[in-house]
Amino acid sequence: MQETKGLVFDVQSYSVHDGPGCRTVFFLMGCPLRCQWCANPEGWENRQRTMYRVSKCVCGKQGCSRCQGACPQEAITADTSQDTVTIDWNKCKNCTGMKCVDACLQEALAPCGKWYTVPDVFKVVNRDRQYWGREGGVTFSGGDPLTQHSFLTAVLKRCQEAYIHTTVETSGCFSEDIFMEVMKYVDFAFVDIKHMDENKHREQTGVGNQTILRNIGLLASKRWNGRLVIRIPIIPGYNDDDANITATAAYVNSLGLEEINILPFHRLGDSKWRQCGMVYPYSETEPVPEEKLRHIQQMIQRRGIICYVGHETPF
């Protein structure tokens, strides 16, 4: 039988913001949502892809056109009178060889996505485990790790056998069967509620929220024994109004859940959008003022819910 493999686009060791204690975080490719403020758009699709870093390109400076000649899809146009190349990203979707990456001596074209087997994951886990401390473990993020649910489940089972604490960060936008099967092997979960209004949720994420809310309800109904923290990314002008915060807190309250982590908007994904050939819709949006975050925190706390702001968390 062919060994289960997963596509990982990043690994971060010694993270202290993605679950209890110190952790190793694996970012898996693929996501059912298309959040317009996303910090990891390179992880949207479950496939290996190329990213283009303009600052490293010497097309105009040195007259380089190696990538154009190497591309079998004829997706790259290298105009040596310009400082950048032009890439037809739709053609790139059909590429599997990434010959342009091999041809680029400056690493302006870089690969995104590496295949891991379960033993490959555990090589990293065993390397890092001694540094986690008593509270730490492994976190699976993305993208959304549940997109690769077969691989994720295989890794989680292995973690459980090795007595390793597991955390997932997920949108929750999956069928009940997939969602609950994965969660059987998870100790701690972050699940986002982007917006309580179905239409507003679809407007900025590309999907509705009914499946997400249903799955949160399933976890809260004692069909799962792990710890659940609801996250709300605070996006200025989208979901930061009092009406939505009140509705979200009321829903969380109705399920008997006790913890919400609000995440301040940031523009750290801007450069990644450009490297993926996309325009970041929030490039001009200012960070959320501190007083606004504290106001939201107080609104949530008034409903008897513990509310953490950003990385001010006890786990």
- Whether residue 153 sits in one domain with residue 60: no
223 and 257 inside one domain: yes
Closest of 157, 223, 158, 217 to residue 191, by C-alpha? 217
**Residue closest to 83 by CA, chosen among 55, 102, 105:** 55
Task: Tell whether omega for the bond before 143 is within 30 degrees of 0, i.e. cis.
Answer: yes
233, 37 contact by CB (below 8 A): yes
Q: Is residue 175 part of a domain?
A: yes
Give the separation between CA 13 and CA 15, rounded to whole angstroms: 6
**Same domain membership, residue 136 and residue 195:** yes
- According to DSSP, the residues that pair with 78 across neighbouring strands are 85
Residue after which a domain boundary falls, among 64, 81, 111: 111
- Same domain as 90, residue 13: no
So what's the pLDDT on residue 97?
Answer: 87
Both 106 and 234 in a single domain? no
Q: Which of 72, 89, 111 is the last residue of a domain?
A: 111
Residue where a domain stops, chosen among 63, 83, 111: 111
Same domain, 102 and 212: no
CATH (domain of 185):
3.20.20.70
Query: Would you state the pLDDT for residue 254?
Result: 97
pLDDT of residue 3: 78
115 is written with which tokens? 């295949």
Q: Which residue has tokens 């997939």?
A: 178
Are 33 and 89 a contacting pair, CB within 8 Å? no
Residue 27 in domain = yes
Q: DSSP label at 42?
A: G
Together in a domain, 237 and 138: yes
Q: How far apart are CA 233 and CA 144, in angstroms?
A: 15
Q: 23-68, pLDDT tens digit by residue?
A: 999 999 999 999 999 999 999 999 999 999 999 999 988 999 999 9
Residue 231 phi/psi, 5° resolution? -110, 140
pLDDT at 1: 38
Residue 314 lies in a domain: no
Q: List b or e across 9-37, with b for residues whose CB sees 16 or more CB atoms inside 10 angstroms.
A: bbeeeebeebbbebbbbbbbbbbbbebbb
pLDDT score of 60: 86
Distance CA 109, CA 71 (A): 12
Neighbours of 200 (CB within 10 A): 15
Whether residue 155 sits in one domain with residue 61: no
Residue 172 lies in a domain: yes
List the CATH number of the domain containing 83.
3.30.70.20
Rounded to whole angstroms, how far apart are CA atoms 210 and 179? Answer: 14
CB-based contacts of 74: which residues, under 8 Å, 6+ apart?
Answer: 91
Complete DSSP assignment for 267-310: -TTHHHHHHTT---TTTTPPPPPHHHHHHHHHHHHTTT-EEEET
Cα-flanking dihedrals φ and ψ of residue 272, to 5°?
-70, -40
How many separate domains does the chain show?
Answer: 2
In a domain, 315, yes or no: no
Q: Are residues 38 and 177 in the same domain?
A: yes
Give the domain range for residue 19.
5-46+114-309
Q: Are residues 123 and 137 in the same domain?
A: yes
Q: What are phi and psi of 213, to 5 degrees?
A: -65, -35
If asked whether residues 200 and 139 sit together in one domain, one would say yes
Residues of the chain with pLDDT under 50: 1
Q: Do 222 and 142 have their domain in common?
A: yes
